[in-house]
Amino acid sequence: MHTADGGSAQEHDVVDVRDVDHDEGFPQIPDPEDGVRWLAPTDVEQHLYRLSRRDHTYAYLRTLAAEGVYYPVWREDADAAGEDEFPMFTRERDGRLWVPVYTEGLLPRPHPDMVFEFANLARLARILPAEADVLMVNAGTPCQLLLAVDEEERDVWYELGCDLFEPDAFGDRVLTRRSGNGVPDLGPLLHGLACGAHLCYGNGDAWNTLHWHGTGYHNEIERLSEWWGVDSRADWLEIQERLLTRQVSPWYWDFVLAARDKLLLATPGIVEEAAWRDTVESTLRERLRRGGRDHRPGADAEFDAFVVELRGLVGKIMRYEARFRADGLLPPGGIVRTVAAWDVGRASKMARWGRGARYATEPEMYEAIERAGAGARAAYHSWEEFSAGYVLGRCLHFDEEEFGSWYTTVLEAHRALVTDPDSPWLTVPFLGGAVRGR
């Protein structure tokens, strides 16, 4: 369901990342005053609020079955659990065992000692402790509901979960949190969060929340391991810095784009493909000469092959740009001047993924998100430019000129993000200061 553009995997190494201590282990949201409409974080909680007020318990349960829930676990227990063990935080009250669960929009600020795991309702019915008596859904909030737990009820949950839960249904949407103290005001943090909008759209994540739990604690750990080979805090620190400093994507992508900029500075207008290819080659050979090496053709077969590859990259970029213009991703005559957005956009999400896996502290996440926003503003003038750079980087990384799903899915994201009223690209000013010449 959730993707994270990257690659490779190793074994997980849990590291204790201590944070600023706080007591926000569970949400505490007071009921609205009489006559005041509660503004829930997302449409899901707004719907549950209405259902709970009308005692529509079965409809409430069907919503949970479609959405899934998050259950709290002491982090120490979560880290120690085996593959078939599912520890949960429970409370004993009045001789009964109560188990709290929450919908995603109500999850609190990540706590250093408490994590949240995700389960659909069918799975929850099977892993809930046998001695559980009461399921507390969204306790401490205006849309809370208490459900008695027995075998018959578990069977209902299981059947509803099997019928209604579709993991793929959560992707390809613009999701914006409307309330909650995890949503920053306009400023560097919000701009940095908006830089991850492509991935947020594809995964169906709320783009503007700092209270990041993602797909649940262990799923976030597995996401980073599977897609990025990140299995420790040290791994996360390294890849986060490399993304922020644009060292993950091959350097020569922007080198080739810069060669065209060089020509445009000299003679503004349309750059011919042959002139662009020749400038790429002459600049490469001049670099070799300055390094004291024989730069002449035939002197180094490996280098000559690299020159041929980069000359070919010119044509590949031009063909992608032509398709981008045809699809409205670029304006008529528009070009991509840098693929910085490909690393910067992923850096914005990497900060949150690292937080969800508890590799990153809260201050580190904040700093990385702000740096991602600053990197975007330094490289581009608008969200549309940023998006075209991101799409080209993704295509050069994955698509191989097939114009397949690696392209069509991100094109869909771009179109939604430039038109949806809730999109950050229509609500967060870009205020870019890109430098055209390099």
Average pLDDT over residues 2-28: 52
Task: With H, G, I as helix, E, B as strand and everything else as coil, classify residue 298.
Answer: coil
Q: Tell me, what's the pLDDT at 23?
A: 61
Percent residues over pLDDT 90 in the chain: 83
Looking at residue 280, its pLDDT comes to: 96
pLDDT at 17 over 60: no
Integer Cα distance of 426 and 39 in angstroms: 21
pLDDT of residue 431: 81
Indicate if the pLDDT at residue 434 is higher than 60: no
Supply the DSSP string of 316-361, one letter for each residue.
HHHHHHHHHHHTTSS-TT------HHHHHHHHHHHHHHHHHTTSS-
295: pLDDT strictly greater than 90: no
Which of 115, 29, 131, 116 is CA-nearest to residue 68? Answer: 116
| DSSP-assigned letter for residue 105 | G
pTM for this model (two decimals)? 0.91
Give the pLDDT of residue 13. 39
pLDDT confidence band for 9 (50 / 70 / 90): very low
Percent pLDDT > 70 in the chain is 93
Does 15 have pLDDT greater than 90?
A: no
Which residues contact residue 82 at a Cβ distance below 8 angstroms, ignoring those fewer than 6 apart? Answer: none
CA neighbor of 60 nearest in space, from 153, 165, 147: 147
Residues 21-40 have pLDDT tens digits of: 556 678 889 999 988 889 99
pLDDT at 22: 55
CB atoms within 10 A of CB 6: 20
For the segment 106-114, the average pLDDT, to the nearest whole number, is 93
- Rounded mean pLDDT, 162-187: 93
**Domain edges within the chain:** 43-170, 251-326
- In this prediction, residue 30 carries a pLDDT of 92
Q: Per mean pLDDT, which range of 267-271, 275-279, 336-340 is the poorest? A: 267-271
Give the model confidence (pLDDT) of 387-430 as tens digits. Answer: 999 999 999 999 999 999 999 999 999 999 999 999 999 999 99
**Residue 7 confidence (pLDDT) above 50:** no
> Does the CA dihedral 304-308-313-315 come out positive or negative?
positive
Other C-beta atoms closer than 10 Å to the C-beta of 116 total 23
